[in-house]
Structure formats: structure tokens, C-alpha cells
Chain A
Amino acid sequence: MTEHALEVEGLRKTFGDHVAVDGVSFSLPPGGSLAIVGESGSGKTTTARMLVGLERPDAGRIRVGGRDRSHVARGRATRLARAREIQMVFQDPYLSLDPRVTVAACVEEPLRLHFSMSPAERRARRDELLARVGLGEREADALPRRLSGGQRQRVAIARALATRPKVLILDEATAALDVSIQAQILDLLAEIRRDTGVGYLFVTHNLALVRHVADDILVLYQGRVVETGPTREVLAAPEHPYTRLLLHSVPRPGWDPARIAADRRALAAALKETPPSPASADPLRHVPETNSTERSAAQ
């Protein structure tokens, strides 16, 4: 059996009575690319936050590079070790950089924390990282407010790569960007994966994006995995009604949004057949929306 870059088993997290993530398991091979897909409330962001230690899982196992990382780090050593293995790029480029720290300092900070380097070595590594994401000296001296959204996201990527992680989580990392810029960032990410062998975990709602960036896909619905497999196969022949609903919701030429109502009905029927999971036991808003769409479609 090959060593996985990331291995998750039976992950669970509740907030009060609400089960946000329920029995999520998956694995990511070294240098692989997996997409966790779902809508708001599906538990995809909570899952990502547990992986980097921003939330404490209630149950389940997280293994990064073969080492157990199920618990929020207590000591400095484990905290740093985890940070060197797994990093994250956040959605909002306007809020994910400290407004008071220049780009250069922002990339140097993790270097200072994780490696003992001479100032010259650190500067060289910083310039290398910035060049890697296509930023030059002019941007290095700038404060984040001088940069465009795309440039900021490049800084965030450079900063995340500074610790040479094995896994990079991209939490809707291109969702806030203009389309023409999103494609640039995707190009950059593909290049980085080719060169460094880092594994990606895309957290996204955008299936069209997933089609082009992820080898494998994991569809989350109400905190549970409803479908998983190679992206190509899942998108070509989705088995779970929720995956079909997601797929049909993507606008494209010849799109018929009215079909969504039928998908909702199929999903509701499928959920009735299988006993309700703890996650869907509470009255979620999907249910009334299903009914009302049926009614409006019937008019």
C-alpha cells in the first residue's frame, strides 16, 4: 500500500445540535488533486478547517504524510510540524493578508518561523517564492492594498508554499476573482503541482472548475459523502441524485433551469428511501424549497 499524502477517516463535527460533518472519509495520494464539492452548509469548509487544525474534530482520524494529526496541536513542535505538512489558501483575497504587512515580509514570516536561515538565504528563498507565483520586486515592497485581487491571491499561494507543504487546501481560492484572472491562477496552480509535487485539495461549489483541476471528486451533502470517484467518471455518469442536481444547475448553452425541480423531487425521494441521517434530521431549508419549486413548476 502506498503512503497517502492525506488520509481522513470517519471525520465528524457537530456544532450544538447541528451535525456539520458526519463520517467523512477520503484519501489524497502524493501530488494528487481532490475536489470536495458541495453547497453552503454541506460541511466542506468545516472539513477543510479541521484538516489544518482550525477546528477540533469530534471523532475520526486525520493522517498527514502517515502521521496522526487528529488532534489540535498542543505543543509548539507538533504545531509547526503540522504547518509544514499542510497549508491553506483562503477565499477572500482582500481579507487573507494582514493589511499592515508588506508582501515581502508576509512571505518571509513563515520562513523565519520554520527554518533557520541566514537573512540572505531567507531573502533569496522569498524572491524565489514570489517569482514562482509571478510577482516581482515592485510587488514585494508593496502593502496588500496596492495589489489587485489576483495578485493578492498569488501572495497567499506563495506564503502557503513557503513551508513546503505536502498538501495545499484551496478553499474556494479562485471564487472571488474575475474569470480571466481565475484562469491565470489555475494555470499557475497546475504548474506548481507539476514542479513541486504538492497535492491539492480543492474546496469548491463549481463543478465546471472541478472538471479541469481535480483528478478525483468527493460530493458532500448535509455533512455526508454522497458520491466519490474519479472526476471524469462522476461527472459523466453521476449516480447520486444530488450530484445530478449539482451538475444540472451549472449554466451552459441549452440549459434548462426548470429541470432542477425534477432533480429536487428525485433527491427528496432518494432521501426518503434511505433512512434520514443524523445530519438531515433537523428541518433543513432544502425541504420546503423542494416543495415550493414543485408547486411553481406545476403552474
Chain B
Amino acid sequence: MTAVPVHRRRFFAPLARVAGGDKLVTAALALLALLIVAAVLAPWIAPHDPDAVDLSATLSGSTPEHLLGADQSGRDVLSRLIFGARTGLLGPLVVVIVSTVLGMLIGVTAAWHGGVVDAVLSRAMELVFSFPALLLAIILVAVFGVGLTAPVIAMSVAYAPYVGRLARSVALREKARPYIQAYRVQGWSGWVICVKHLLPNIAPLILAQSAINFGYALMDLAALSFLGFGVQPPTADWGAMINEGSSSLLQGAMLPALAPGVAIVITVVAFGIVGESIADRVARREQ
């Protein structure tokens, strides 16, 4: 740790702060970092081509050649898992970015203006809330066709109210604080106050929620792939892999379905831990 050069220490500082010496959080962060590295470097680190068929290894179980075995088509499960991390992380990333930006915009606007604007935006958020996300996704798939686009758009819309509701309540509290009022008395426009002072101060809490949302979005997108509405075979995707692997379960081969399942669970939990820890830190700072 002490050997980390100064310029890198600056880069890692926020992460170290989030971890705060907590072993569990550090482990979760390390796991997520590993996952991201694996996704980015997939072509170089995957032992096999994810689509390469080795019929001799079909449902082989763990062998030195195929560490996590091969699926019913004889494709290497580990390699598919590594490549699957790409769609597995990219989809939720887009969902989280879009829903966070959208939610913050709606929530802060509602809180700042209050009155009619607040009423309209809040009702709109409730409307989206009351609509099941998966159903929305399936409808959009019917419109746009199968693939990652429709589910990602649907999830972005469906997750925005979660962020929006939180952003609204936090912004309401922050808006009532004297420092925001002092800026109003100084003569700053509402727009400048929101962007320069209100947003940065509520951002950590929103980001905590978004980190948790990342896990859920990953799970929902995997579910859509599993149902056949999302990423289409033969592209490697965790949800689709569970679907394809489920038939092999009957033949006694656990790994093709189990490995992506475990990957999803671990990733979701890791994002949950990181999100909670950011929220805890914010709560401590508030005191």
C-alpha cells in the first residue's frame, strides 16, 4: 500500500474512503474491479473463444482444459462467463446512468419548484412506479424487437422514479437548509444554486441508491435474457446462459447454469454492499 505512487493515490482515494477500512466493503470493491477488468480484457484473458465448439468436452464438468466445464454445445463456460460480463455490466451501466440523470432532473426540479410542478412530476413518477418494469420491457421488445436496446430503455424509465423519489426528498431537505437560502439571498439564480451547490451535496446519497440499482438492473436484464427477450444466443450473456444451461441440469451438469447464477448473485450483492456503505458514510457525515 505504501508503495502506491502519489498520483495514483489520488485516483484511489475516493474508493479507499468508501471502503473506510471495512473488510467486506474492500472485498466487494475488489470483486467489482476484477469484474470490470475481466469484461474489458475479455478477448485477451478468456482461455477460449466463447463461441468455439469443442464437442468432445460437452457437459464435461471441470477439467484442466475447461475449468468450469463446457455447456451442452461444448462451449467453454468460463470464457462465456468472462465475455458475458461485458453485456452483464454494460446494460446496467447504461440503465443506471440514464435513470440517475433522469431521476435527479425530475426529483430536483420537483423539489425546487414545488407547487404544481411538484404535483405533476410526482404523479408522473407514481404512474411509472405502478407499471411493472418487466411488462414495460416486454412491450418495448414488441416494438423494437429483441436485443439489448428495448430492455435497457425500459429499465432506464422504470428505474428513474426510484432515483427521482429519493432525489426529491433529499433535495427538499437540502433546499430548506440555510446555506441554500443564503445563496438565494445573495441573488444567485435557482439554476446556478441547484447545479453548483444543491446537486453536489445530495449526489453521494443518490449515487448510493444508484449503486444498489445497478445490481437490481443487472438482475432484471438477466431475467429478460433468461426469458429470451434480451440478449440473443449465441452471444454470451449470464441470463441467457442460465436459460441454456437449465436443460443440462436434468442431465446432471450443474456448472453451465450454476456458474452464471453465482456470478449474478455475487455481483448484485457486491453492488448492494458498496451502495450501503456509501449511504452509511453520508449518514455519518450528516451527524
Report A-B touching, CB under 8 Å: yes
Give Cα A53–Cα B189 distance, bound, in whole angstroms: 13
Q: Which residue of B lies closest to A82 (CB)?
A: B187
A97 / chain B contacts, CB cutoff of 8 Å: 179, 182
A54 CB contact (under 8 Å) in B179, B185, B197, B201: B185
Interface readout for B168-189 with A: 1 if CB under 8 Å, 0 if not?
0000000001110111111111
- The number of residues on chain B lying at the interface, defined by a beta carbon within 8 Å of a beta carbon of chain A, is 15
Q: Which residue of B lies closest to A76 (CB)?
A: B189
Indicate whether A120 reaches chain B with its CB closer than 8 angstroms: no
B201 / chain A contacts, CB cutoff of 8 Å: 98-100
A91 CB contact (under 8 Å) in B178, B179, B183, B185: B178
Q: How far is the CB of B14 from chain A (nearest CB, A)?
A: 14
Q: How far is the CB of B181 from chain A (nearest CB, A)?
A: 6
Indicate whether A96 reaches chain B with its CB closer than 8 angstroms: yes
Known: A95-B177, A100-B201. Contact between A88 and B189, CB under 8 A? no
Most chain A beta-carbon neighbours within 10 Å: one of B179, B181, B185, B189: B185
A95 CB contact (under 8 Å) in B178, B183, B189, B200: B178
Indicate whether A156 reaches chain B with its CB closer than 8 angstroms: yes
Which one of A3-11, A24-32, A106-114, A219-227 is at the B interface? Answer: A106-114
Q: In the complex, are the beta carbons of A90 and B184 less than 8 A apart?
A: no
Q: In the complex, are the beta carbons of A113 and B179 less than 8 A apart?
A: no
Give Cα A103–Cα B187 distance, bound, in whole angstroms: 19
Q: In the complex, are the beta carbons of A98 and B197 less than 8 A apart?
A: yes
B186 / chain A contacts, CB cutoff of 8 Å: 83, 87, 109-110, 113, 159, 163
A109 / chain B contacts, CB cutoff of 8 Å: 183, 186
Contacting residues of chain A (16-38) with chain B, CB-CB under 8 angstroms: none
Q: In the complex, are the beta carbons of A53 and B178 less than 8 A apart?
A: no
B183 / chain A contacts, CB cutoff of 8 Å: 98, 109
A84 / chain B contacts, CB cutoff of 8 Å: 187
Interface of B, helix, strand, loop or mixed by DSSP: helix
B188 / chain A contacts, CB cutoff of 8 Å: 113
Contacting residues of chain B (138-195) with chain A, CB-CB under 8 angstroms: 177-179, 181-189
Q: Which residue of B lies closest to A52 (CB)?
A: B185
Q: How far is the CB of B100 from chain A (nearest CB, A)?
A: 19
Q: Which residue of A lies closest to B180 (CB)?
A: A98
Q: How far is the CB of B158 from chain A (nearest CB, A)?
A: 32
Q: In the complex, are the beta carbons of A114 and B187 less than 8 A apart?
A: yes
Q: In the complex, are the beta carbons of A54 and B184 less than 8 A apart?
A: yes
Q: Which residue of B lies closest to A78 (CB)?
A: B187
B182 CB contact (under 8 Å) in A82, A113, A159: A159
Q: In the complex, are the beta carbons of B187 and A80 less than 8 A apart?
A: yes
A82 / chain B contacts, CB cutoff of 8 Å: 187
Q: In the complex, are the beta carbons of A156 and B184 less than 8 A apart?
A: no
Q: In the complex, are the beta carbons of A156 and B187 less than 8 A apart?
A: no
Indicate whether A79 reaches chain B with its CB closer than 8 angstroms: yes
Q: How far is the CB of A6 from chain B (nearest CB, A)?
A: 15
Q: In the complex, are the beta carbons of B185 and A87 less than 8 A apart?
A: yes
Known: A99-B201, A100-B201. Contact between A90 and B181, CB under 8 A? yes
Q: In the complex, are the beta carbons of B181 and A54 less than 8 A apart?
A: yes
Q: In the complex, are the beta carbons of A53 and B182 less than 8 A apart?
A: no
B182 / chain A contacts, CB cutoff of 8 Å: 88, 90, 96-97, 156, 159-160
Could you show 11 A-B contacts with beta carbons less than 8 Å apart? A54-B184, A83-B186, A83-B187, A84-B187, A88-B185, A91-B178, A100-B197, A101-B197, A110-B186, A113-B186, A160-B182
Name A residues whose Cβ lies closer than 8 Å to a Cβ of B: 52-54, 76, 79-80, 82-84, 86-88, 90-92, 95-101, 109-110, 113-114, 156, 159-160, 163
Q: Which 10 A-B pairs have the closest CB atoms?
A: A83-B187, A90-B178, A96-B178, A80-B187, A52-B185, A79-B187, A98-B179, A95-B177, A110-B186, A88-B185
